[in-house]
């Protein structure tokens, strides 16, 4: 448990824990209260870290004499301690006052603008995902905001997303769009795609398929799979761009090869129907299978149909029933009806085999 928590700390402030194994063991003694403080208050955790870190450095450097400082830019002159080699009883001088101040200054290095942005953003993700802390979208929004206000594009995007979805903050499309646009100034692809969705769906802006396609294109050309898929949809249905199945298949293919299930399914449909590509049901079956194994209900239903009728594959009622059953477990009514209808043409042994295969798939994928 401590090793996992230590990794989190290292990710937040890498410079903070570059210690030997012996020193790290000492630090771990104090690690739990620091972690608890971090989860409740970041500033308190930093104060605890300062105390523990200084103590460790003092112990490590108790034989180090005073050495000239390289620079003192990060410490106001009024708080720089006088340098002396006094060995006064009860003072910290025997341990090296310079070592102590070097420790304090190095501790504050992660709090410079760049590191603080990363630290707050990482905390935002932790609270949003409930990893290591209780899931708390309000706290997540607070952390993302601290980072976003300092210009971090990813934090700006996620803060916009929270406003877009009303998670941790009141839903506000205008504020979502504002933060997305700030991230877009840094060419952040996810924010470009998010603005495309807003224009596509008319969320907080007048619905405009042409503008949606423009924003999708910007993100798609940066390689974002979701944007490639949405742009494929625009070309497939002629929304904001002239209908073009060839271009649709191209963008579906790019997204599908990145593993996006929806794109794999739609690319499979293009091969099944011969839209924008040469008709090839077997190739369609391949893409349906990839999407179905990711749990996409439409692909599972489509596979059931293809196995039922022997489309691109040898007819197989057991496989058809298996995929219909899997789609039915997700509430697909057509799949349930087809499975029940198909069962009248199957033997009890075939029905049992299909049920066993469906249960095996669910066990392996859940």
Among candidates 133, 136, 132, 75, which has minimal Cα distance to 106?
Answer: 75
Among candidates 120, 126, 106, 196, which has minimal Cα distance to 151?
Answer: 120
Q: What is the pLDDT of residue 344?
A: 96
Q: Which tokens go with 159?
A: 């803060």
For residue 234, the tally of other CB atoms under 10 A from its CB is 27
pLDDT confidence bin for 4, thresholds 50/70/90: low
Q: What CATH code is assigned to 119-186?
A: 1.25.40.10
Residue 327 and residue 304: Cα distance in Å, rounded? 9
For the ranges 17-21, 117-121, 308-312, the maximum mean pLDDT occurs at 308-312
Residue 304 and residue 311: Cα distance in Å, rounded? 10
Instruction: Give, in words, the CATH class of 196-291.
Output: mainly alpha
| Cα dihedral 203, 205, 208, 211 sign | negative
**Domain layout of the chain by residue ranges:** 2-65+95-111, 119-186, 196-291, 295-366
Among candidates 36, 52, 31, which has minimal Cα distance to 104?
Answer: 52
Instruction: Output the average pLDDT for the chain.
Output: 81
pLDDT digits (tens, 9 = 90+) for 167-189: 999 999 999 999 999 999 999 99
pLDDT confidence bin for 56, thresholds 50/70/90: low
Note whether 119-186 and 196-291 share their fold: yes
Classify each residue of 147-157 as buried b or exposed e, where b means 16 or more C-beta atoms within 10 Å of its C-beta.
bbeeebbbbbb
pLDDT digits (tens, 9 = 90+) for 253-289: 999 999 999 999 999 999 999 999 999 999 999 999 9
**Rg of the Cα atoms in the chain:** 29
Question: Is the CB of residue 206 less than 8 Å from the CB of residue 228?
Answer: no
Q: What is the pLDDT of residue 278?
A: 97
User: CA triplet 261, 262, 263: central angle to 5 degrees?
Assistant: 90
């Amino acid at each position: 448990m401590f090793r996992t928590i230590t990794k989190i700390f290292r990710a937040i402030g890498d410079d903070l824990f570059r210690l030997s194994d012996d020193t790290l063991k000492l630090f771990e003694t104090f690690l739990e209260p620091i972690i608890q403080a971090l989860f409740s208050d970041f500033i308190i955790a930093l104060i605890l870290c300062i105390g523990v870190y200084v103590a460790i450095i003092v112990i490590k450097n108790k034989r180090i004499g005073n050495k000239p400082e390289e620079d003192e830019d990060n410490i106001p002159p009024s708080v720089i301690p006088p340098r002396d080699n006094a060995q006064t009883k009860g003072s910290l001088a025997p341990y090296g006052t310079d070592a102590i101040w070097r420790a304090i200054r190095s501790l504050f290095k992660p709090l410079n603008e760049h590191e603080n942005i990363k630290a707050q953003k990482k905390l935002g993700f932790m609270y949003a995902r409930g990893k290591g802390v209780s899931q708390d979208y309000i706290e997540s929004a607070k952390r993302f905001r601290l980072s976003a206000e300092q210009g971090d594009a990813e934090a700006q995007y996620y803060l916009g997303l929270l406003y877009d979805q009303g998670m941790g903050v009141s839903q506000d499309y205008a504020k979502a769009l504002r933060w997305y646009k700030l991230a877009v100034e840094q060419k952040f692809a996810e924010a470009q795609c998010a603005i495309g969705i807003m224009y596509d769906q008319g969320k907080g802006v007048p619905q405009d398929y042409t503008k949606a396609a423009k924003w999708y294109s910007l993100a798609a050309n940066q390689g974002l799979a979701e944007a490639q898929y949405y742009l494929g949809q625009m070309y497939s249905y002629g929304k904001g761009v002239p209908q073009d199945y060839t271009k649709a298949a191209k963008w579906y293919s790019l997204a599908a090869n990145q593993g996006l299930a929806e794109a794999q399914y739609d690319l499979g449909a293009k091969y099944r129907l011969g839209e924008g590509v040469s008709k090839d049901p077997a190739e369609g079956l391949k893409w349906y299978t990839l999407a179905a194994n990711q749990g996409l209900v439409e692909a599972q239903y489509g596979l059931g149909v293809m196995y039922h009728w022997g489309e691109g594959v040898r007819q197989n009622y057991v496989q058809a029933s298996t995929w219909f059953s899997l789609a039915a477990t997700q509430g697909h009514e057509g799949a349930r009806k087809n499975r029940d209808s198909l069962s009248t043409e199957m033997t009890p042994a075939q029905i049992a085999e299909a049920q066993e295969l469906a249960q095996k798939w669910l066990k392996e994928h859940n």
